[in-house]
Structure 1
Amino acid sequence: MSTQTATAPVGLEADIRDFVATVRKICESAPTPDQWSPTEPCNDRNTLLRNRLSDAGWFDVAAESYAADILGAAGVELGRALAPLDLIDDLLGHRVALGADIVGDIALTRYAGAGDTVWLCGADSVELVEIVGAEPLCYIDAQSVSSVITKAAAPAELPSAVLDGWIAAMTGYIAGLAVGALDLAGGHAAQRIAFGRPLSDLDSVAKKIADCATATEGLQMAAERRPDAYVLQQAPVAAFRVMRACHQILGGLGFTLEYPLQRYSRRVEALRVWTPAVVTALAASSSPS
């Protein structure tokens, strides 16, 4: 995985650390419960979390020149906390949808309904549209996914600086999902006794944990260094490999609805579908700031 070489401007490092710490505390104070069910449409939007992040300036940062520097690092905390993805998408000014040429026959959106405007992402372009009809669907994750009917809205431009901030935040979010999953797997391996010693002392398990830690650290570093569209396209793939290893470490426990690992892996699986198509379309259509 490659990243751009840009680093945070001199003097901004302390502000980034403070903002990340604030986001972490807010996520801890307003946790997002598991709303997912395999038999009905699910929506994990968290009004309390949104309001507290808004008060802290989460959405205001997107308009600043340093957005990509600060949102990547802070996005890690949202992913670790399994925060709703609408908090990331709203940095774009509108939420996102996948066109029928991506999905096949129908268009899908997340966290949006009739009357909302969304960025409708096709194979190589994006269009701002209004949703005129929405049908909630059962989905692999609690992202309030609906099939939609749309009509063209007034044309709008997506400034490249705004897109850069969203890319950084989403890369950080995906890194945070990997961090959260590894925390669970590592904690379990340290406590689980097998053959008279902790599971983490077994060479095969220790290697898996080390490999996951390396990949996770790489994702975090990428998020903090102004990642580009290519990096974000690859991030869900790297995170999926971490999830797979974590499930192997936890065994059957990781697949139960009572244990939170399945929340991380379901979200990564959903993002493997959405992210490459969305970022490709947005990057092809963004305009200079």
Structure 2
Amino acid sequence: MDSAELELLTATLRKTMTTTPSGPALDTALTELGWRELLAEYPESAIRTVFGLLGETGAHASSLNDVMGGGTPALPYAGGAWVVWSPTGPGTALDPELPLRTVPSGRSLPVSAGRRALGWWLVGTGHAMLTLARTHALDRVQFGRPLASFQAVRHRLAETLVALEGAEATLIAATDPLGSLLAKAAAGEAALTAARHCQQVLGGIGFTAEHPLHRHLRRALVLDGLLGSARELTREAGARLRAEGSAPRLVHL
């Protein structure tokens, strides 16, 4: 897939996600656009594009089930819990906007591709929060000056961008299970950094249900726990490196 084709696909997907209701309707729309065929032929481009846009637009679809092999597999969640991505069925929903339901147990599955997908979703969510905070900082005037002119505000926005771009670089470099684990951890940490800084930049309005930030913030918190939270994955990586006594080269520069 060349750059022109990818650009056209991205524009089409973005329009679809912003005009189609999340859930079954969006699942159908993505299927009609050839999401599964794209995943089979160009897996990394498909994952990066679709899940990044899910984060940026605030939409949700069951695409993660496709990445995990199809069906509705039980997925590990933070704290030793298990969940399924299903709009119906027993179990407690983790979030009113996401069809993630708790189940008693599950079986071990290959999770590397799923972690990369969630990583791009988290990065996209972080960029959505950064856009909201940046727009507010440019439009809001305090003490006769735009909020964006204050150094403390600019530092928070800059730190958010650096964290998100660092997570993107880690996701691009991830080619094996350890790299995918570290990339998901970096993306989760970046999204949580974005949530913290952007809420501070937005001030009081960022704590209200009237502003869209709270939806992205909640999405970041829920997605961070899926297939291992940033904290758990960091501990797991550290334990693995201690046990092996060395750190593998993840990127060849």
TM range (shorter): 0.7 to 0.9
- Percent identity over the alignment? 26
Q: Cα distance, 1:272 vs. partner?
A: 2.1
CA distance in 1, matches of 2:9, 2:173: 16
Matched, 1:63 2:15: no
Q: Which residue of 2 aligns with 1:76?
A: 52
Q: Which residue of 2 aligns with 1:88?
A: 64
Residues 73 and 169 in structure 1, CA contact (< 8 A), matched pair in contact too: no
Q: Which residue of 2 aligns with 1:148?
A: 103
Matches within 5 A, 1:1-289: 12-32=2-22, 46-64=23-41, 66-92=42-68, 93-98=70-75, 103=79, 107-111=82-86, 113-114=88-89, 134-137=90-93, 139-140=94-95, 142-149=97-104, 165-226=113-174, 228-276=180-228
Q: CA RMSD in A?
A: 3.1
Matched length = 227
CA distance in 2, matches of 1:57, 1:26: 13
Residues 186 and 209 in structure 1, CA contact (< 8 A), matched pair in contact too: yes
Residues 129 and 213 in structure 2, CA contact (< 8 A), matched pair in contact too: yes
> Which consecutive unaligned segments of at least 5 residues does structure 1 have?
1-10, 33-45, 115-133, 281-289
Residues 171 and 222 in structure 1, CA contact (< 8 A), matched pair in contact too: no
Higher alpha-carbon deviation: 220-229 or 233-242: 220-229
The one-letter code sitting in structure 2 at the alignment partner of 1:148 is: V
What are the superposed Cα offsets for residues 24-58 of structure 1, whole Å, 9 maximum, x if unpaired? 121122254xxxxxxxxxxxxx2222222111111
Q: Which residue of 2 aligns with 1:8?
A: none
Q: Cα distance, 1:14 vs. partner?
A: 3.4
CA distance in 1, matches of 2:200, 2:226: 25
Q: Cα distance, 1:277 vs. partner?
A: 6.3
> SS at the partner of 2:226?
helix
Q: Cα distance, 1:167 vs. partner?
A: 3.7
Q: Cα distance, 1:230 vs. partner?
A: 1.8
Q: Cα distance, 1:151 vs. partner?
A: 8.4
Q: Cα distance, 1:12 vs. partner?
A: 3.5
Residues 233 and 275 in structure 1, CA contact (< 8 A), matched pair in contact too: no
CA distance in 2, matches of 1:219, 1:241: 11
Structure with higher helix content = 2
What are the superposed Cα offsets for residues 91-124 of structure 1, whole Å, 9 maximum, x if unpaired? 2213343569x646x643332655xxxxxxxxxx
**Structure possessing the higher relative contact order (Cα contacts under 8 Å, 6 or more residues apart):** 1
Q: Which residue of 1 aligns with 2:239?
A: none
Give me the TM-score of the superposition, normalised by structure 1.
0.67
The one-letter code sitting in structure 2 at the alignment partner of 1:90 is: D
What are the superposed Cα offsets for residues 61-92 of structure 1, whole Å, 9 maximum, x if unpaired? 2222x311332133211111112152233322
Residues 177 and 268 in structure 1, CA contact (< 8 A), matched pair in contact too: yes
